[in-house]
Amino acid sequence: MNRKHGDIMMLETPFHSRVAALNEINEWDGWAGYTTPTAYFDVELEYFAVRSTTGVFDLSPMNKYRITGPDAQAYLDRVMTRNISKISVGRVGYSVWCNDAGQVLDDGTIFRLGESDYRLCSYARAMDWLSWCAMGFDVHIDDESDGVAALAVQGPTSCSCLKAMGLNAIEELKPFGLTHFDFEGEDLMVSRTGFTGDLGYELWIAPHKAEALWDKLFAAGKPYMIKPIGSSALNLARIETGFLQAGVDFVSAQDAVRPGRSRSPFELGLGWLVDMNKPVFNGKKALQREQKEGSRYRFVILDVEGNKPAHNSFIFKGKKQVGTVTSAAWCPTAKSNVAFAQLEMPHGQVGDELVAEIYYERELQWTRVLAPCKVIDSAVFNPERRRMTPAPAF
């Protein structure tokens, strides 16, 4: 990229010209070195696009690693806590990965593109760790973060938008499935994945076709009320559907400098991603010990009384402080006030009644609320359309 004096330091995604043109309120933030919008026109309206029609999110800055070679599967099985052999070709899986101490380094999605061909999408830069992990394996790891442009197309009418764009039979794609289309002579990969908990897809294409893809998608989606969305609306949607955000709901063990600040998969409620039947994976020994000796923390979803989001709240059991909130939002569709919290064991069993100490400000006046809250067993938003195949047409 040619850069000249006066240019901003941040990189621009392949969709930047389109994103910038639609960013009416000029709200920007940095993500992995790229400038990306936090909102285009109004966070709530963008959020409602995702829940009622279709919202489009530019996720090009996502870190992407292509892992190929005869040992690709064995390699990923050693890196990841989950069983990789269960992800068939044309499927996508969510996983976390740990260091030897069983502490989570990151979470991400694994796309199986071929027999020995995977793409790993991660929150943080991972080349260093992935390369260390490669010792002893016949694999090739390629950082294709800047080589693939990506859009998340999410919401009830997303399938209709894609059909209107000419992606035939896209409604037959199952959740966590992926398929390929020809787009003006380039490969367009579409996966039925996303970070909103709704019916939705992610589109992956070579950067030079990004703008053409955006234009065609928005033209086709116009009757289906397609809107661009920024990271704030996405954040609201992911809290509503119970998705953890790396760097927010947990600190990567790679970044944590203070002892005890990192978390194990069990402590993040992700024990279902840990397959102890695998002969070896990073963190296995430590996690076996944790299973035996007990975890230090428990991840919980809290249903908080009232409508004040419990941002950064302390959580109390009686007079004792037992944890803190990592993410919180008033969730408009579910109409509930949700908080993710890290509680000290043994607190946080489903049904536990706790108190969130909430501070909020109105016109420079701060108010403190002690809001009763309750541990709930699952996320508050989980619509049927998310799982239906063929995908319903709205």
Partner 1 sequence: MTKYDAVLVGGGHNGLVCAAYLAKAGKNVLVLEANETLGGAAATREFAPGYKVSSCAHWLTHLSPQVSKDLSLERHGLALAATDLNSIGLAADGQHVTVSGDSVAGDTVSAADKQAYTEFHRKTMKFSGLLAKAFAVRPPKLVESNFTDRLNLIKLGLGMKMMGREDMSELMRLALINMYDVMEENFDNEALKALLSFDGVLGAHMGPRSPNTVFGYLYRRVGDVHGYRGPAQVKGGMGAVGIALAEAARSVGVEIRTATPVAKINLRDGRAVGVTLATGDVIEAPLIVSNADPVTTFEKLVGYRNVETGLVRRVSQIRMRSGVAKLHLALDGLPQFCGLDESQLGQRLVIAPTMDYIESAFNHAKYGESSLAPALDISIPTIADHTLAPAGKHVLSAIVQFAPYDLNGGWDAHREHFTRQVIDAISPYAPDISQRIVASELLTPVDLEREFHMKGGHWHHGEISLDQVMMMRPFPGATQYGTAVGGLYLCGAGSHPGGSVMGLAGRNAAQEIIKRGADA
Q: What residues make contact with partner 1 under the rule CB under 8 A? A: 71, 74-75, 78-79, 99-101, 129, 132-133, 135-137, 279-285
Kindly tell me which of 82 and 227 has the beta carbon lying closer to partner 1: 82
The alpha carbon dihedral of 132, 136, 137, 140 has a sign of positive
Kindly tell me which of 132 and 272 has the beta carbon lying closer to partner 1: 132
**Least distance to partner 1 from the beta carbon of 112, Å?**
20
**Least distance to partner 1 from the beta carbon of 98, Å?**
9
59: left (phi over 0), alpha (psi -120 to 50) or beta: alpha
**Least distance to partner 1 from the beta carbon of 106, Å?**
14
Kindly tell me which of 183 and 266 has the beta carbon lying closer to partner 1: 266
**Least distance to partner 1 from the beta carbon of 280, Å?**
6
**Least distance to partner 1 from the beta carbon of 99, Å?**
6
Kindly tell me which of 21 and 257 has the beta carbon lying closer to partner 1: 257
Kindly tell me which of 232 and 282 has the beta carbon lying closer to partner 1: 282
Kindly tell me which of 98 and 234 has the beta carbon lying closer to partner 1: 98
- Yes or no: say if 329 and 236 are a contact pair by the CB < 8 Å rule: yes
Kindly tell me which of 274 and 315 has the beta carbon lying closer to partner 1: 274
Kindly tell me which of 135 and 257 has the beta carbon lying closer to partner 1: 135
**Least distance to partner 1 from the beta carbon of 259, Å?**
11
Kindly tell me which of 105 and 234 has the beta carbon lying closer to partner 1: 105
Vertex 153 angle, CA 152 and 158, to 5°: 160
**Least distance to partner 1 from the beta carbon of 282, Å?**
5
What does the alpha-carbon distance between residue 191 and residue 3 come to, in Å, rounded to a whole number? 34
- Yes or no: say if 205 and 162 are a contact pair by the CB < 8 Å rule: no
DSSP label at residue 346: T
- Yes or no: say if 227 and 55 are a contact pair by the CB < 8 Å rule: yes
Kindly tell me which of 37 and 108 has the beta carbon lying closer to partner 1: 108
**Least distance to partner 1 from the beta carbon of 83, Å?**
16
What does the alpha-carbon distance between residue 96 and residue 160 come to, in Å, rounded to a whole number? 32
What long-range pairs does 80-89 form, CB within 8 A, spacing at least 24? 80/110, 80/281, 81/265, 81/270, 81/273, 81/274, 81/275, 81/281, 81/283, 81/287, 82/273, 82/274, 82/275, 83/275, 83/277, 83/278, 84/110, 87/112, 88/112, 89/113, 89/114, 89/115
Residue with tokens 């009418």: 157
Structure tokens at 105: 């380094």
Structure tokens at 294: 């007990």
Kindly tell me which of 133 and 188 has the beta carbon lying closer to partner 1: 133
Closest CA to 36 of 202, 115, 149, 204: 149
241 burial level (CB within 10 Å; 0-12, 13-18, 19+): buried
- Yes or no: say if 305 and 353 are a contact pair by the CB < 8 Å rule: no
**Least distance to partner 1 from the beta carbon of 394, Å?**
46
**Least distance to partner 1 from the beta carbon of 281, Å?**
8
What does the alpha-carbon distance between residue 309 and residue 315 come to, in Å, rounded to a whole number? 13
Residue 390: cis peptide before it, omega within 30 degrees of 0: yes
**Least distance to partner 1 from the beta carbon of 138, Å?**
10
CA dihedral (160, 166, 169, 171) in degrees, to 10, reads -20
Helix or strand run (H / E) with residue 214? helix 210-221
